[in-house]
Copies of this chain bind each other. A is one copy, B any other.
């Protein structure tokens, strides 16, 4: 096996590991979420609650790393559930702005509590230590990949 193949093997293994962790944690999150709300939808509510609402769909799509069409779909789902309101942007005739409803806020708060309780069962001291140990490296890797996407 030559160098190129060895390099490929190592990098594949690395991203495969990350992919599996992502898959397992997403599945776990999905099971903790009530009412058939998809993790990606919850993520949008969480984003709006943490960083403030009144963002455009395009801004949210960039933050969530999904395409605009996906965001259109997700916002429709959240809007149908009355967790958000989407209003025209008074400053820009093309744009829209997304606002959390009181119902959306309370749903998000309840979900946070539920998910925290569920995760606490399997996330012990060792895992917390591990998380803190590699958190900085993960952030660096994320930023590097984000800055180098074509």
Binding site for B on A (CB under 8 A): 4-5, 7-29, 31, 43, 46, 50, 65, 112-113, 115-117, 119-120, 122-123, 126-128, 130-131, 133-135, 137-142, 144-146, 148-150
Please state the number of chain copies in the assembly.
2
B150 touches A21 (CB 8 A): no
Q: How far is the CA of A21 from the CA of B147 in the complex (A)?
A: 12
A10 touches B131 (CB 8 A): yes
Q: A18-B25, A27-B149, A130-B141 given; name 14 further pairs at CB < 8 Å.
A: A7-B120, A8-B113, A10-B131, A11-B131, A17-B139, A17-B142, A18-B21, A19-B22, A21-B138, A23-B65, A31-B150, A126-B144, A127-B141, A130-B137
